[in-house]
Amino acid sequence: MKLFYLFVPVLLLLTVVACDVDTDFVTGDAVQLGFSQDTLTFDTVFTARGSATRTFKVYNQGDEPIMIDRISVAGETGVNYTFNVDGFQGPEARDVIIWGGDSIFVFVEVEVDPTDPENISPFIAEDRLLFETGSVQEEVVLLAFGQNANYVNGFNRGEFFRITCDNGVVALPQDLPTVIYGSMFIDSCIVQALPGTRIYFHGGVQRNDQVGGNGFFNDGFIFTQPNGSLQLLGTLENPVIVRTDRLEDNFLDDPAKYRGLILGPGSKDNRLEHAQLLNAIVGITLDSLAEVTIENSTIAYSGGPAISAYQSRVTVDNSVFHSNFGNAIQFVKGGTLNMRHTTVANYGVDASALVLTNFTCDDSGNNCLAANMTANISNSIIGGSRGSELIFLDIFEGNELDAFDVGIRNSVVRTDQGFLDSQSGLFADFYTNTCDNCLNLEFSDPIFIDISDDDYQLDSLSIARDLGVFNPALPLDILGVERDADSPDAGAFERVDL
């Protein structure tokens, strides 16, 4: 009798197994899955090696039992994601069954070591858990913090974070990087990045109904509102770094990874001192009557302009703009540009280094608005790959006093006959009336040490040597080298012969 009772459970177990084998499962493209979450977030910031577990449910939205061919981690980051589903331990599970109208739990674990380099454990460790049935592949996004950092806005990609401090001052942490996952607005506050501060953006195209239209926009920006200011206050030894959160070597010169800095209408007292602004779509965008001062700074590897200004005021000293895949500096509907000892190198792109206009028109071209354009440029270099690196457009074609007032002195520029003949010859006397003691940069002229290596210090035979006029306000170059008091070099770098 005891043997009979022992035999019954075994028989029942075999019967259940046999039922599974004989069941007709829905497979392939006909499988209808549902997920309790489309993104699984691990919001723990690890200061040492550790792990965290999160869970979600997968639903069979049909009435018949289904079989999922394969569940796996895509493995798109060095961070270790593993999972457990219905007794299967990842990184891969096959032939997972969900009965009709039923669901299963999926447990996902992430293991993070924040001391690993960023190419193994990036700031935002993003991966995917893949569900494959036939030719259909569905996914749940996995997100974890891979480094010890100050994460602004958590995992709210595409959302807006607002800083306000009752017109006071807020300083970002210097000991840890600030990672902006989403975008930040500054209102009634001065936000400062002090020496050594690092600001990293995640970026990407996102959707938010607050932006209007179809809701899609380029994420990853800092926006200063009328009473907000951003000040990046580095030093020569400890610059402020603003760039993409992907720090691997192959991302160093990658353009357009996030939107950039946006100085909104009327925003004043914005500064960049010893700052490096890299990898943005547009380095700095200035809207109506916004103002910024840029000193001893570099803006490079932008997908578009380094500076795009709309009727705004920009002051630039001792700075370098290079490898920007658009017009390096562009002004629309006027504004004011004061630029001294600055190098603008727009090589490898069919766009001009400097564009100055005093108007803007609607799409029809029939309705235009104008505002005065004023520019004072001295001791600078404006070069690039085009025949002319200057585009000047005066809607009044010289017939309106002060509407287009541009003066350049002791500088290297690149122009061609097309520029001199533009606007019915308005700039035919450019080297007499506009550009005083300037040199036209020919393609054969020596100028920089190595453009292909982004080394824009002056070649030993550079035509920019000794071209400048000493300015006591700028006795040192961008590297802290003393300028020759009798005949300083044009551009941001003073040539030193060893």
Q: Which structural domains are found in the chain, ordered by start?
A: 28-145 (2.60.40.10), 150-458 (2.160.20.10)
- Of residues 250, 293, 288, 251, the one with CA closest to residue 266: 288
Question: pTM here?
Answer: 0.88
Q: Which pLDDT belongs to residue 441?
A: 98
Measured distance CA(478)–CA(295) in Å, rounded: 8
Q: Which pLDDT belongs to residue 21?
A: 52
Question: Residue 148: what residue type?
Answer: N
Name the band, by pLDDT with cuts 50, 70 and 90, for residue 495: very high
Q: Is the dihedral of CA 210, 216, 221, 223 positive or negative?
A: negative
- Of residues 375, 379, 382, 338, the one with CA closest to residue 474: 379
Q: Which two tokens stand for residue 135?
A: 């030719």
Residue 284: C-alpha distances to residues 114, 126, 198, 462 (Å)? 31, 28, 17, 30
Q: Which pLDDT belongs to residue 350?
A: 95
Q: Is the pLDDT of residue 162 over 80?
A: yes
- pLDDT, one tens digit per residue, over 305-352 is 999 999 999 999 999 999 999 999 999 999 999 999 999 999 999 999
Q: Which two tokens stand for residue 167?
A: 């017109």
Q: Which pLDDT belongs to residue 29?
A: 85
Sequence-ordered strand ranges (E) for 385-489:
390-393, 404-409, 412-413, 435-436, 439-440, 448-450, 455-458
Q: Which two tokens stand for residue 287?
A: 């809207």
Residue pointed to by tokens 């007794």? 87
Q: 358: which residues sit within 8 A by CB, 6+ positions away? A: 333, 334, 370, 371, 372, 373, 393, 394, 395, 396, 403, 404
